Every structure is written in C-alpha cells, then in structure tokens.
Structure 1
Amino acid sequence: MKYKPDISELSYTFGGRAPVQSVKPGTVVELYTEDCFGGRVREVTDLPSVVCEFPYLNPVTGPFHVEGTEPGDTLAVHFVSITPARDWAVSSTFPHFGALTGTHTTATLQPPLDELVWRYDVDVDAGIVRYHARRGDFSVEMPLDPMHGTAGVAPAAFESRMTIVPDVHGGNMDTPELRAGVTAYFGVNVPGALFALGDGHCRQGDGEVCGTGIEAAMNTVVILDVVKGVFTPTPRFETDEALMSAGSARPLEDAYRMSQHDLVTWTAALTGLDELDAYQLVSQAGTAPVGNVCDPNYTMLAKLPKKYLNKAMAYEGMHARLRETARTVT
C-alpha cells in the first residue's frame, strides 16, 4: 500500500484523530513524511519563527488503523527502508530551544541564541550529506544515516499528545537508533493502535543537542504487524544484534532509569534469569544511547547485545520474520 498525504492531511498529535487508512497485519506500507517544518524552511533565509506557525510543527503521516489490534496487544513496526525525498535538508538553532541555551522555563541573563538555518546538500546515490558553515568558509561531508525522530501510537485514556512530546506511546524520541533494519514495538492503547510516523533526519548526533537533526522529508517503507495478547510498557527496538528499551521523562535521570528498568525486567523475562542476575548482566554488557535532551520529555535508551541472551527470542521471533519479509520487498 502507498500513501502520500496532502499537506492538509498531516497530523500534529498522537490520539484525537481519525485514521487515514486501515490495513491488515503484515501489510507493507510505502509512505511519505514531511520534515519537522512542514517543508516551509527551504533556504537559510527562511527563519522558522517567520515561515512556520506554532503549534503546526513536527507533522506526522497517519494514523494508520491496524485491523484486529486491541488494547493489551503490541504493534510491531519494521523499518524496511528510509530514503531522503529531496536533495536538500535543513537544521537550525532557536533563541529558547536546545540543550545549550536558556529556555522559557529556565530563564538566564545571557542573550538568547541567534536563530540560524543551515542548508545541507543531500546526495542519496553517494550516501552523503554536505555541511556548510554559516559563518566561515568551511564544509565537510558526513555519511547519510537516515532515521525517524517521531513514531508511535495513540496514547491511553482518550489522551491527545502533541507530536513533539515523547512518552510511553512513542512520540518525538529523536534517537538515531530508529533506522532501517529496526523493528519497533509499541504497546497498543486503543483499537487499531493508530500508528503515525514523521520527523525524518538524514542523520543526527546523540542527544539532538541543538534541538534539530538534519531535517528532511522521507520516503519510508514499513511493515505493520501485531503481537496478540502481549503488552509493551514503553517503546522497544530490536535489531539483528541488539535489544533496546526507551524511557522518556524529565529529569534525564528518570528517563535513564525507565529505560534500564525495562531492559532489566525484559531480559529477566526472556531468559528466565532472576531479576538481580539480569540487573548484573545488563549493568556489565549494556550501553545507554541518548535520544533527545531538549524536548518536553527527554529520551534515553538501554541497549543489550543479543549474543548475551543465550538465544532467547523476543516476541516469539517477530523481528526475524519481518526481516525475512523485508528481504522479499527489497
């Protein structure tokens, strides 16, 4: 199935919106996502504060209703491919947004940061993006590493959440780990799950320190499937090599604890280990990739190589099955 939304069909919330399409479990969906600025920032002279209108930022494509999916299930989303849709992308700084500036909630006496836009050249065939300094004669090429900053399902309890907020439903986690080859797992809170996706980045450093990645429209292929009768308490990711748990909260310490707690208890459930034995294993073999450190909630991941799990399989091998399907698609 292919879906490219009109600008009027983009969504700015998770929850509170009717589905744009209904699909069966196992469906391969080819979709287009717009960048976080809705395509309005095209040149370095296009300041977001001028060409964009709050709260119409960080649009997502969807939501998609997955048939037969019910609260208490888990939605499995396998990312087959993520490809920049244009030969340019943008990034920016803002006066009161980002990790290294005063914000509207934390006032400081120094002047706010300048609002600047950087325009990147995107060469998909060569697999690179080109950075150009705004205040100097400097440029450098970096490898393309496309990912999606925002993905998730409708929250529970009739909530509608802005797409910029990450939480247990997913949302704007901004982790570079959400790239092609990954299966993401989201706990289902409403009938049909109502999955939505957006905020593509050509690449992004850990933390999204300035508040934006290399923001780009994307052509993305996903496979949507369901694990019946198993609930996932916070977003989880699986690759061929690792399992990951995401935690989103403030302060950053709580996001870290959430992700580590979920990975420890998940590891114990998969392996049959005592919880403290699993705690010890994750403590010595795990890593902690950083998601965003500038959104309304921060995001941390806990990551454990699968080689330490003694061949235990998550979700009865869902990732391996979706990977096999992805090979037939590509």
Structure 2
Amino acid sequence: MEHQFTPTHYFTTLGPHEPVLTVQPGDSIVTTTVDARGRDANRDQVTPRGNPQTGPFFVDGAEPGDTLVVKLDSIVPNRDWAFCGTSVAANVVRPDFVRELPEAGMAEWDVDVEQGTATLTTPESKLGRITLPLDPMIGCFGVAAKGTQAISTATSAEHGGNMDYRGFRQGVTVYFPVFESGALFFLGDGHALQGDGEIVGSGLEISMDVRVTLDVIKDHEIGWPRGENAEEIFTAGNARPLDEATQNATTEMLRWLVQDYGLDPLGGPKPAVGPVRQIRPGQHVRPRLHDGLQGAQGIPAGSNPLRGLSRIVPDPAAVFPTAG
C-alpha cells in the first residue's frame, strides 16, 4: 500500500516520539522534507532549524533485534533554490591555519530539477559561472535510538542520524537496527548535492519530495546502518575520533560478510574476500564523525541474501532525475 503523508510538525531529535503514521511491512510512504533550516518548498520557515525530521513512522511488527529495510525510491528537490556554507569548518584544517579562514557565510544556488543542475548565484565566483550536476541525497535519517534516548539531529550513532553520507541517494536500500517497537523511522535534511566529508558543514540544502518503502526482517540483528545499490554494499560508522568511526564501519562490514554471505573475510577454509574498495567520509564537522566503508571486492552486485527475506528489491538503475 502507498500512503500519502503531509507533515504538520517536525522533530530535531530521533527518539520515542508519538508516531505520525502506522504502516505495514512492504508499504510505501510519499511525503516531503524541509531543509536543514526548516524551510519548505515555498521557502517558508515552518519549523525551527536543526535538520528537522519528518516522521516518525511506526512499522507494524518491527521489534528490537529486527532489521528495518528502507528503500529510497525517489528523492527529488521540490524548489528552485538551495544554500550552503562558504567556509570550511575549523576542525578540518591545521590549528595554525584557523585564523586565516574567512568568516562563515552563505552561498545561494539556482536549482533546475528538469535539467538536473545547480548554478551558483551568490557570491559571485572568480572562476566564472559554476554549474554542477545534481545528486540528491538524504543527510539525516534513521530510527529511534536505543535505551529510549532522544538523540539530536546534529549527530549520529548506531541508529543513523546526521550521517551526511553521499551514498544515501535514490535507488539505494538501507538497513537499520531496530531498538524500539515499530522502529520509529525519521527522515529529513535533504541535499541537492554534497561533497565527501561535508567540510563546509552543509551540502546544497533544500526541501525534498520523497518516496520510501519500508520492510522488516525478523530476528535479524545488525549493529550499524548498512546499505546497498546496484554495484556494491556499504556500511556506516559514526563516532569521534575518526579512526573509531572507521573501526565501526569496518567491523560492521566484516560481520555482514560472515552473517549474511557466509564468507570468511579473515581467511580460513571459506573463500576469502579481497581488499575493501574504499572508505568514503560522510560529515566531518559534527560531534560524531561519519565514515562509510564502500564495497568489497568479490561481492557480485545483487547477491545480497537479504533480498530473499525482504519484499524490497534494490533498483538496478535508479539514477536521478528519473523519479521512481
């Protein structure tokens, strides 16, 4: 079943809030998100800033120890204007260089959804006209955190949250651990485009029209968010310092390969997996930093055994701007 949901209020924490809608496993939700400062498709300020979240959505039957499956069917900007920061964050440069950083400001971009481009309008660039291809993604999303906590949308942990990872784009399927009955799924903080690391503290911040499909894998416990697209699997790790985030993502990848693929990535009698393809950073400016471990050689696209346990099949060719 497909549900049309229009949000009337938003949350800046992911936790045990009253659900706005109850859905069944396999259902889809069509809804909207506001930008990181609480502006909607009309640029109206409808809620306070701070990565406001649409939701939470209660998924019937989801219980602690299960896995929530989230298919990002469609992520499409719903206005023609976006903004981003203009100065890199102080914590991503050497301490002796911080005093040379310019004062933080805001850049504005014209967004052409039909053409799939964003063009810088202010401030003017010495490089001339700058036009970039859109690559929409969801920056902050996840489930209610464990222990009945309400965790700020400024940060992230095992439940997801403000990961700002470019891999969370249209066509991707994401797996979250479930900590509370119903999972309580939230999403928001859409970016029309973002660089790896989000070192200016933002992507091209914009409101979105989104469609997601939710499912539950019973009695299947995972530790951290996982994802897959048509080409690879990846895992998330959120922590400070950065090496701990990398450790979380790497450990979750190794556990995944053993748990679901029956492989022994450390060697032994079973086939060993080759080197990890790459580690790609998510946001590097918040209380907890994000690293994504992307791909493992020897894992064929579409081979995830979880597909047999879920109603959701990842889209083999979901590329913006073709909305699902």
User: When the two structures are superposed, what TM-score results if normalisation uses the length of structure 1?
Assistant: 0.85
Q: Following TM superposition, by how much is the alpha carbon of 1:158 offset from its aligned partner in structure 2, in angstroms?
A: 1.2
> Any conservation in 2 of the 1:264–1:282 contact (CA below 8 Å)?
no
Match of 2:78 in 1: 85
Match of 2:264 in 1: 274
User: For 1:307 and 1:29, how far apart are their aligned partners in 2?
Assistant: 34
Match of 1:26 in 2: 26
Aligned partner (choices 43, 50, 58) of residue 65 of structure 1: 58
Q: 1:120 to 1:280 in 2, by over 3 A?
A: farther
- Choose 242-251 or 86-95, whichever is displaced more: 86-95
Q: 1:255 to 1:30 in 2, by over 3 A?
A: same
Q: Following TM superposition, by how much is the alpha carbon of 1:140 offset from its aligned partner in structure 2, in angstroms?
A: 1.2
> Any conservation in 2 of the 1:101–1:112 contact (CA below 8 Å)?
no
1:264 counterpart SS class: helix
Q: Following TM superposition, by how much is the alpha carbon of 1:100 offset from its aligned partner in structure 2, in angstroms?
A: 4.0
User: For 2:296 and 2:311, how far apart are their aligned partners in 1?
Assistant: 15
Aligned partner (choices 203, 227, 231) of residue 193 of structure 2: 203
Does 2:217 correspond to 1:227?
yes
Q: Following TM superposition, by how much is the alpha carbon of 1:318 offset from its aligned partner in structure 2, in angstroms?
A: 5.3
User: AA paired with 1:91?
Assistant: C
Match of 2:138 in 1: 148
User: For 2:11 and 2:296, how far apart are their aligned partners in 1?
Assistant: 35
2:285 counterpart SS class: coil
User: For 2:50 and 2:163, how far apart are their aligned partners in 1?
Assistant: 15
1:120 counterpart SS class: strand
Q: 1:283 to 1:274 in 2, by over 3 A?
A: closer
User: AA paired with 2:19?
Assistant: P
> Any conservation in 2 of the 1:95–1:114 contact (CA below 8 Å)?
no
Match of 1:47 in 2: none
Aligned partner (choices 271, 293, 299) of residue 290 of structure 2: 299
Q: Following TM superposition, by how much is the alpha carbon of 1:82 offset from its aligned partner in structure 2, in angstroms?
A: 0.4
Q: 1:226 to 1:160 in 2, by over 3 A?
A: same
Structure 1 vs Structure 2 CA RMSD: 3.2
User: AA paired with 1:294?
Assistant: V
Does 2:208 correspond to 1:218?
yes
Structure 1 unaligned runs (5+)?
A: 44-50
Q: Following TM superposition, by how much is the alpha carbon of 1:56 offset from its aligned partner in structure 2, in angstroms?
A: 4.0
Q: 1:273 to 1:323 in 2, by over 3 A?
A: closer
Q: Following TM superposition, by how much is the alpha carbon of 1:293 offset from its aligned partner in structure 2, in angstroms?
A: 0.6
Aligned partner (choices 296, 299, 314) of residue 305 of structure 2: 314
Q: Which runs of 4+ in 1 moved over 4 A?
A: 93-98, 278-283, 309-312, 324-327
Written as runs of structure 1 = structure 2, the 5 A alignment for 1:1-330 is: 1-6=3-8, 9-39=9-39, 56-93=49-86, 99-100=92-93, 110=99, 113-132=102-121, 134=123, 136-137=125-126, 138-277=128-267, 284-305=275-296, 308=299, 312-317=303-308, 321-323=312-314, 330=324
Q: Following TM superposition, by how much is the alpha carbon of 1:257 offset from its aligned partner in structure 2, in angstroms?
A: 1.1
> Any conservation in 2 of the 1:100–1:210 contact (CA below 8 Å)?
no
Q: Following TM superposition, by how much is the alpha carbon of 1:131 offset from its aligned partner in structure 2, in angstroms?
A: 2.0
1:253 counterpart SS class: helix
Per-residue CA shift, 1:104-150, capped at 9, x if unaligned? xxx99727641311111000110111124525452211111000001
User: When the two structures are superposed, what TM-score results if normalisation uses the length of structure 2?
Assistant: 0.87
Q: Following TM superposition, by how much is the alpha carbon of 1:38 offset from its aligned partner in structure 2, in angstroms?
A: 0.6
Q: 1:87 to 1:269 in 2, by over 3 A?
A: same
User: For 2:35 and 2:84, how far apart are their aligned partners in 1?
Assistant: 10
> Any conservation in 2 of the 1:291–1:298 contact (CA below 8 Å)?
yes
1:308 counterpart SS class: coil
1:277 counterpart SS class: coil
User: AA paired with 1:270?
Assistant: D
> Any conservation in 1 of the 2:22–2:60 contact (CA below 8 Å)?
yes
Structure 2 unaligned runs (5+)?
A: none
Q: 1:154 to 1:307 in 2, by over 3 A?
A: same
Q: Following TM superposition, by how much is the alpha carbon of 1:30 offset from its aligned partner in structure 2, in angstroms?
A: 0.4
Per-residue CA shift, 1:5-44, capped at 9, x if unaligned? 12xx11111004111111111111001000001118x99x
> Any conservation in 2 of the 1:96–1:113 contact (CA below 8 Å)?
no
Q: Following TM superposition, by how much is the alpha carbon of 1:295 offset from its aligned partner in structure 2, in angstroms?
A: 1.0
User: AA paired with 1:247?
Assistant: G
User: For 1:255 and 1:131, how far apart are their aligned partners in 2?
Assistant: 33
Per-residue CA shift, 1:182-239, capped at 9, x if unaligned? 0010000000000000000001000001100000000000001111110121000011
Per-residue CA shift, 1:44-86, capped at 9, x if unaligned? xxxxxxx999x84110100000011111111000011100010
